[in-house]
Structure 1
Amino acid sequence: MLKYRVITALILIPIVIAALFLLPPLGFAIVTLAVCMLAAWEWGPLAGFSSPSQRIWGALLCGLVLVLMLWAIPAYNRSIHLTVIALPLWAAVVWWLLALVLVLFYPSSAAWWKHSRLLKALFGVVTIIPFFWGMFALRLHGYEQDPHQGAWWLLYVMLLVWGADSGAYVFGKMFGKNKLAPKVSPGKTWEGLIGGLLTAALISWLFSRYAPLTVVPSSLLICTVIAALASVLGDLTESMFKREAGIKDSGNLIPGHGGILDRIDSLTAAVPVFACLMLLVFY
């Protein structure tokens, strides 16, 4: 299994980086939309929609909503402050604060949502739609001045999430004793969380020093710590929904890694939260 994970990662990482820097905004939006539709397909069983037809309709509906929202953006104005972009980002902040409460009080918190397919589908909407707009907003940030500026920001968030996850894994294996959320994800520890945050802080320092980006270090640090914490919450939240649905992996599209949701669960929280803080609060 580890061999497949490493091989797949070595193939996917260069593809992702190439997509960030080489695709034009429209091409990037289409690729991200396709990822979101696949994530919506995989969310179906988590919400109680297990039949192929239900999952297909869910994916198509997700794609239609995103296309209509993209259509509503004026060609001459792609400001982050447009309602169609800003509203999903703020919705993400509210949703992930609610998700924190759900995770902290699980399994008792599941009593009021586990029997409602509509409510679980809504949780999927506020997970996937803001993720798309966080990706889109960061990619287009400063595009007129430098077409690659937004790509650097997205690469930063991705490295932050991957680094925090790797740091948490290593520190958890070496020092982990105190469980972080045993009823949701027994493998995660407080020691791993601290290790992940330290790794994220190192990445933040390296990026602020060597990457071609201009940002106030204190603002970057705040956004980085909150985004790193959000990434852990994203992982825990998907684990909670999978546990409630009796599912180990969200899918099997990626050899050795499970499904799309299994790979982007941390990003679905970190990307829109980081975009909201960096572009709407501190910028």
Structure 2
Amino acid sequence: MLKQRIITAIWLIPLVFGAIFYLPSEFFAWALVGVFLLAAKEWGRIIDPNCQMTQWSFTFTLVILLVALNLLVPVGDIWHSGQLHPIFYAVILLGAIWWLIAMALVLSFPKSAKLWQQSHMLKSLFGQLTLLPCFVSLVTLKSLSSAAEPYFGGILVFLVMLVVWAADSGAYFVGKAIGRTKLAPNVSPAKTIEGLVGGLATTMIVVAIVMNLSPQQELGLVIAVTLFTALASALGDLTESMFKRVANIKDSGTILPGHGGVLDRIDSLTAALPVFTLIYIAFWM
């Protein structure tokens, strides 16, 4: 398993970094459609693990929505005079509202599952609210690149990923070492409060990097944004775990040997990206 994880990471990391930093925003937006197609197919298994028709129906619907977004709001029209396009802003805001609802579902699980576990319509809606704002947030941040600062958007996307990776890694190692108090035992028994605190502490490394590279930033704001983003990433992870538990599946897919599926890799990002993007728009635009 470890060998598979390492091999997959060796070819996956350069692809991700290459797309983030070197792929033009227009091509990046269309390339993401393919990635989210895979994620949508995996969410289809959450809706109904045994029905291919349901899985492909959800996948087709989501891809149509993504293509429509790319056509309705071309990359060049996303930002105008420092203002985000209203359609993109509405989708990201809707995503933030969804994550507040998701937090309530996670905290009240398994009682909350009685409301949605038998409803294909609700689980499809939850999938759209999870994936669409993540897609829009990625394209929004990436499109902040310009001729003068060609890597700026990529750096923002990378910073969110760095916060998520730091939080995940810190939570894993601290949780393994001293984790005792269960964070959400009904959703993910392995996660602990000590691990969460350790993950949040680890993200301070990212704060140090940001302040070193851009010392004019307000320290308190950078810390707050980092912690909010890290907490959102933990919620994204727990939410997917909740849905997979009800669907009785361990991994969302098998396309990434040693890592599971696409959803397993981006579950934390699905919440972290919309939260970070909204905060960025509020305080830095």
TM-score (norm 2): 0.94
Q: 5 Å matches for 1:254-273?
A: 254-273=256-275
Displacement after TM superposition at 1:165 (Å): 0.4
CA distance in 2, matches of 1:91, 1:281: 19
1:85-118 Cα offsets, whole Å, 9 max, x none, are 1011111110111111111110011111111110
Offset from partner CA, 1:122-174 (integer Å, 9 cap, x none): 00000000000110011012435412101001011111111110111000011
Report the more deviating stretch, 249-258 or 61-70. 61-70
For 1:4 and 1:48, the matched residues in 2 are separated by: 28
Tell me the residue number matched to 1:180: 183
Q: CA deviation at 1:218?
A: 2.8
CA distance in 1, matches of 2:140, 2:216: 17
2:51 & 2:223 partners in 1: Cα distance?
44
1:17 lines up with 2:17 in the alignment: yes
Give the aligned partner of residue 161 of structure 2. Answer: 158
What is the aligned length? 282
Q: Does 1:203 align with 2:206?
A: yes
**Structure 2 CA distance for aligned equivalents of residues 246 and 163 of structure 1:** 28
Counterpart contact for 1:180–1:189, Cα < 8 Å: yes
Question: How far has the Cα of 1:55 moved from its partner?
Answer: 2.0
Q: Indicate the residue corresponding to 1:190 in structure 2.
A: 193
The reply to whether residue 64 of structure 1 matches residue 67 of structure 2 is no
Which residue matches 1:89?
Answer: 92
Q: Is the CA contact (8 Å cut-off) linking 1:170 and 1:192 kept in structure 2?
A: yes
CA 1:234 to 1:76, structure 2 compared with 1: closer, same or farther past 3 Å? closer
Q: Which amino acid aligns with 2:112?
A: S
Query: What's 1:31 paired with?
Result: 31
Who is 2:242 aligned against?
240
**8 Å contact 1:66–1:129 — kept in the other structure?**
yes
Q: CA deviation at 1:3?
A: 1.9
Mapped to 2, the partners of 1:76 and 1:37 lie a distance apart of 23
TM-score (norm 1): 0.94
Contact 1:49 / 1:117 at 8 angstroms: preserved in 2?
no
Structure 1 stretch displaced more, 227-236 or 26-35 = 26-35
Aligned twin of 1:274: 276
Residue in 2 that maps onto 1:251: 253
Question: Partners in 2 of 1:37 and 1:72 — Cα distance?
Answer: 19
When the two chains are superposed, the root-mean-square deviation of aligned CA atoms in Å is: 1.7
Cα distance 1:133–1:223, how it changes in 2: closer, same or farther (>3 A)? same
Q: Quote the Cα distance in structure 2 between the aligned partners of 1:280 and 1:70.
A: 24
- Alignment map for 1:97-116 (pairs within 5 Å): 97-116=100-119
TM-fit CA distance, 1:75: 6.7
% identical equivalent positions = 43
User: 1:43 maps to which residue?
Assistant: 43
Question: Do residues 217 (structure 1) and 225 (structure 2) align?
Answer: no
**Runs (4+) of structure 1 moved beyond 6 Å?**
none
Deviates more, 1:70-79 or 1:8-17: 70-79
Shift of 1:76: 5.3
Q: Which runs of 5 or more residues in structure 1 are unaligned?
A: none
